[in-house]
Structure 1
Amino acid sequence: MTHLTRRSAVTKALRLAALGVAASMALTGVARAEDLLAKVKAKGELTVGTELQFAPFDFVEDGKQSGMNKEIFAEIGKELGVKITFLDLPWPSVLPGLEAGKFDMVAGPATITKARMERYRFSSPIADATVAILKKKGDASITKPADIAGKKVGTAKATAQLAQLQEFAKTLPTPPTIQEYVDFSQSYADLGAGRVVAVANSLPNIAFLAKQKPDVFEVVEPPFGKPVYFGYIGTKAADAKSLMDAVDAVLIKMKHDGRLASLQKKWFGTEMATPDQVTEASF
């Protein structure tokens, strides 16, 4: 009887210990969920990875960063009470840099795709990202997207725009030759020089460029890509959730109070309706 009593006491103690460990783990999980936002606020700085070759979102003008991202993140910084520090990298290095913890989140922005949603946490969308064709002004050989069949077309490496161009190419009678560039600025330079006949990029980007250089470039209507959106990127780690939730809250507030629409008009020339969240990507 004493043996049974002792065994029962040990069993009870083990159960209590297990409950204590579980409670401790739960509390640790809560603490971790607050870690990144707490660290950002304690430091007073949100570090953002981006590529300064993606106008009108991020580009260099008169030796300084300019673009829509700078203005949106200025609003995010005000709301969170922190300063914003951007780190400029070639786009193929940006997402690996996020995963390596070199910065808190990514500006980009990046097209919200199914594959990326499996790996990353996206912010509330900030713009339409549907892919279209840019050509040289007055090029009568390209009047619709399908006219790129059999021609040399440029786009950027490791992008959703490249993936959509590759999918579209499969539907054409003669696939185009796709030239991949480290960044879109190089592709635009080659288009201007006649080394490619077109560039595939998201409509806001090429519309901005055509507006800046109307005597050089022209947008081919309509866009050929599936309807997709641009968003900012964070990791899916538990300690990043609080930060991304806070960023979403600011972006959604900007949508509802008109600040985002005002910036869209400034940089794209038009407003773009976007959902508060993308739960399932179209591509």
Structure 2
Amino acid sequence: MSILAGWKCRLVMVALCAASVTAHAEDQLAKVKKAGELVVGTEMQFAPFDFLENGQQAGFNKDLFAEVGKEMGVKVRFIDLPWPSVLPGLEAGKFDMVGGPLTVTKARMERYTYTLPVADATDALLKRASDSSLKQSADIAGKTVGAGKGSAQLDQLKAYVATLPKPPEIREYVDNNQAYADLAAGRIAAVANSMTNIAYVAKQRPETFAVVQPPFGAKVYFAYALRKDADSKPLADAFNAALVKMHNDGRLAALQKKWFGVAMDAPTTMPVPNY
């Protein structure tokens, strides 16, 4: 090999190495900063977190992500999908994170990177306000109960009903609004969802719905999810830094009061899930 050819070869190798280092340095946070945009996958049928009002997005997530976007110096763009498509979309790299939010569970922590919690996700039952037969959670024995398809609330419901003497029939819904419509129409006896969600629904329609007390689920929290890889950790860290700042200056509590009716426990360190 000639001296000139040798130098050309070395230059090519240096260029390739530089490109490799640059590509490696381009983690998810760097990509978001470069694009000036944080892309979030969600389902806009999950009030009070995400829902459509006169065809426009409304809810806790819209307000919270707007504040986080300001802290990170980026815009936020939401992609609305049916819930069963959201987590596969995250894993396929179609967006940066999931704004569902998700219940924090041990199984999901092995598969996804979670942000810090933003709200209580303890599972409870919503019933018709006129249904005097459903005084406590155990009264769903032998009845028909709805829950979100592919949700952690469905998993909690299945575990709970297995302890009842006569397990109820469980009907799975892709759209929570359809579950609530079936409940109002008397086609099912109750809907299992997080206390946060059903308390909001009952507050909006007190003549139609009521919450069964106490909740039947274990104490769990809602948080947002990212892919579980090294590239996503800097983005999760930046998001969490913004959340802690909002926790400390009262913005998080203010948003909770606005959308949930009450400020909720939101730990600034990740709690160990119960299941």
TM-score (norm 1): 0.88
Percent of pairs with identical residues: 62
Match of 1:41 among 33, 36, 41: 33
Match of 1:98 among 90, 93, 103: 90
Query: Is it true that 1:114 corresponds to 2:94 in the alignment?
Result: no
Contact 1:34 1:242 in 2 (8 A): no
Summarize the alignment of residues 29-68 of structure 1 with structure 2, pairs less than 5 Å apart.
32=24, 35-68=27-60
Query: Is it true that 1:155 corresponds to 2:147 in the alignment?
Result: yes
Match of 1:259 among 229, 236, 251: 251
Distance 1:76 1:152, change over 3 A: same
- Cα distance in 2, alignment partners of residues 32 and 260 from structure 1: 34
Query: How far is the alpha carbon of 1:76 from its aligned partner?
Result: 0.9
- Cα distance in 1, alignment partners of residues 90 and 190 from structure 2: 31
Summarize the alignment of residues 114-263 of structure 1 with structure 2, pairs less than 5 Å apart.
114-263=106-255
Output the amino acid matched with 1:113.
Answer: T
**Match of residue 13 from structure 2:** none
Query: How far is the alpha carbon of 1:279 from its aligned partner?
Result: 4.5
Query: How far is the alpha carbon of 1:278 from its aligned partner?
Result: 2.1
- Cα distance in 2, alignment partners of residues 138 and 185 from structure 1: 19
Contact 1:53 1:59 in 2 (8 A): yes
TM-score (norm 2): 0.91
**Match of residue 21 from structure 1:** none
Query: Is it true that 1:89 corresponds to 2:77 in the alignment?
Result: no
Per-residue deviation, residues 52-74 of structure 1 (Å, max 9, x unmatched): 00000000001100000000000
**What secondary structure sits across from 1:225 in the alignment?**
coil
- Cα distance in 2, alignment partners of residues 164 and 246 from structure 1: 31
Per-residue deviation, residues 198-255 of structure 1 (Å, max 9, x unmatched): 0000000000000000111000110000000000000111111111110011111111
Output the amino acid matched with 1:93.
Answer: S
- Cα distance in 1, alignment partners of residues 191 and 271 from structure 2: 29
Unpaired runs of at least 5, structure 2: 1-16
Residues matched between the structures, number? 258
Distance 1:244 1:33, change over 3 A: farther
- Cα distance in 1, alignment partners of residues 166 and 99 from structure 2: 36
**Match of residue 17 from structure 1:** none
Per-residue deviation, residues 38-62 of structure 1 (Å, max 9, x unmatched): 1111111110000000000000001
Query: How far is the alpha carbon of 1:277 from its aligned partner?
Result: 2.6
CA RMSD in angstroms, aligned pairs only:
1.5
- Cα distance in 2, alignment partners of residues 224 and 277 from structure 1: 25
Output the amino acid matched with 1:62.
Answer: N
Distance 1:254 1:33, change over 3 A: farther
Distance 1:233 1:183, change over 3 A: same
Query: How far is the alpha carbon of 1:115 from its aligned partner?
Result: 0.5
- Cα distance in 2, alignment partners of residues 33 and 142 from structure 1: 57
Per-residue deviation, residues 9-33 of structure 1 (Å, max 9, x unmatched): xxxxxxxxxxxxxxx8xx95x9736
Output the amino acid matched with 2:27.
Answer: D
Unpaired runs of at least 5, structure 1: 1-23
- Cα distance in 2, alignment partners of residues 254 and 34 from structure 1: 27
